[in-house]
Amino acid sequence: MTREQARGAREIAVVAFAQTDHRRTSEEHSEVEMLMPVLHDVLEQTGLKTADIGFTCSGSSDYLAGRAFSFTLALDGVGAWPPISESHVEMDGAWALYEAWTKLLTGDADTALVYSYGKSSPGSVRDVLTRQLDPYYVAPLWPDSVALAALQAQALIDAGETDEPALAGVAARSRAAATTNSHAQLRGSVPHGEYVVRPLRTGDCPPIGDGAAAVVLAAGERARQLCARPAWIRGIDHRIEAHGLGVRDLTDSPSARLAAEKAGVFEQPVDTAELHAPFTAQEVVLRKALRLDDRVTVNPSGGALAANPIMAAGLIRIGEAAARIHRGESDRALAHATSGPCLQQNLVAVLEGDPR
């Protein structure tokens, strides 16, 4: 939504956020079992029960679960009885939040529960993600997600935008920030490691892990009742780029820039940015596209380099940004989510707290 449209529309805020501790494996838990504590947590924060929620929307991917219709059983965790108004996107939960936001804008609901989850542990996520690629010309070659990210990183180095020590610095800063995030999978001083795919080393890549997250949205006065300092969504937009890497400039992210512009990011400075940059080089690309300078606190949670539960990591960025506003640590924050190879699709939201 553009900011012109947002004016005059009803105000909608993130009023609660919960996430799991993200782990390398969670084989002792089903997806529903992984999700349940998060759903309970986020509802308890607001005092709402399932029956009080006006709209529910989730994000997940069948390919991680290794089975069709995996989300249908996750719905059991919500307790959808009596029947609920509910929908699902086969995308990161950030896009489920976007759908829920549009639902609240129409006035059809005053509150929304948004959740997403991903268990990468049952398979090889590098191989699984190759199935996202053009099924006729690219997927049969099995170019894995790290190799594609390495192409992007190398393009960035070749363009003189960064170098390997700078990338190592991104990783070190993220993991140092994660020391205060009890949910993070990797925290503190982590060796930068060997090359995985040149120029990317272990430390340039996200941990592979399982996790879930949930958010409650509320409109207008309802938000103020449910949360002492709601994180108002001042703008949110998402854009997609061409799929073929050969037709994209991998050193730039025009879709992130456009989404940010439409969301109103550039109107006033933000103090915080939670970026969904699973690879160090992608933070470099996003900082440029989103015009983030050193005055902005980037990824105080540690970001996706500290925990990257696929399909939930984008929603977690929105949740982390909102939680900082709830706690009074931010007044105007940017949250970003990405999908597809080399930042193909990007969502940007601007969250603000009431003036203090």
Partner 1 sequence: MSKEPVAVTGIGQTKHVAARRDVSIAGLVREAARRALDDAELTWADIDAVVIGKAPDFFEGVMMPELYLADALGAVGKPMLRVHTAGSVGGSTALVAAGLVAARVHGTVLTLAFEKQSESNAMWGLSLPIPFQQPLLAGAGGFFAPHVRAYMRRTGAPDTVGSLVAYKDRRNALKNPYAHLHEHDITLEKVQSSPMLWDPIRYSETCPSSDGACAMVLTDRAGAARSPRPPAWMLGGAMRSEPTLFAGKDFVSPQAGKDCAADVYRQAGIKDPRRDIDAVEMYVPFSWYEPMWLENLGFAEEGEGWKLTESGVTELDGDLPVNMSGGVLSANPIGASGMIRFAEAALQVRGQAGEHQVDGARRVLGHAYGGGSQFFSMWLVGDRPPTS
Residues 71-90 that bind partner 1 (CB under 8 A): 71-73, 75-76, 79-90
Can residue 103 be called a binding residue for partner 1 (CB under 8 A)?
Answer: yes
Beta carbon nearer to partner 1, 81 or 293: 81
Q: How many residues does the chain have?
A: 356
Q: Strand locations in 94-220, DSSP E?
A: 111-119, 195-197, 200-201, 210-219
Q: Give CA–CA dist 70/265, Å, rounded.
A: 35
Query: In whole angstroms, how close is the CB of 138 to partner 1 at the nearest point?
Result: 8
Q: Give CA–CA dist 9/144, Å, rounded.
A: 43
DSSP 152: H
Beta carbon nearer to partner 1, 190 or 349: 349
Q: Which stretch binds partner 1 (CB under 8 A): 151-159, 201-209, 232-240, 328-336?
A: 232-240
Beta carbon nearer to partner 1, 88 or 276: 88
Q: Which stretch binds partner 1 (CB under 8 A): 45-53, 163-171, 234-242, 297-305?
A: 234-242
Short-list 117, 337, 173, CA closest to 240: 337
Beta carbon nearer to partner 1, 62 or 158: 62
Can residue 237 be called a binding residue for partner 1 (CB under 8 A)?
Answer: yes
Beta carbon nearer to partner 1, 273 or 347: 347
- Pull the structure tokens for residue 90: 């086969």
Task: Write b or e for each residue in 196-212: b if 16 or more Cβ atoms lie within 10 A of its Cβ, otherwise e.
Answer: bbebbbebbbbbbbbbb
Beta carbon nearer to partner 1, 9 or 159: 9
Can residue 239 be called a binding residue for partner 1 (CB under 8 A)?
Answer: yes
Q: Give CA–CA dist 145/350, Å, rounded.
A: 28
Can residue 66 be called a binding residue for partner 1 (CB under 8 A)?
Answer: yes
Size of residue set near partner 1 by CB under 8 A: 65
CA distances from 140 to 61, 127, 196 (A): 20, 11, 21
End-to-end CA distance of the chain: 26
Can residue 152 be called a binding residue for partner 1 (CB under 8 A)?
Answer: no
Q: Give CA–CA dist 279/156, Å, rounded.
A: 12
Give me the 6-45 binding string for partner 1, x by CB under 8 A, dash otherwise. Answer: ---xx-------------------x---------------
Q: Give CA–CA dist 201/250, Å, rounded.
A: 19
Contact set with partner 1 (CB under 8 A)? 1, 5, 9-10, 30, 56, 61-63, 66-69, 71-73, 75-76, 79-91, 95, 98-99, 102-103, 105-108, 128-129, 131-136, 139, 237-244, 254-255, 258, 339-341, 344-345
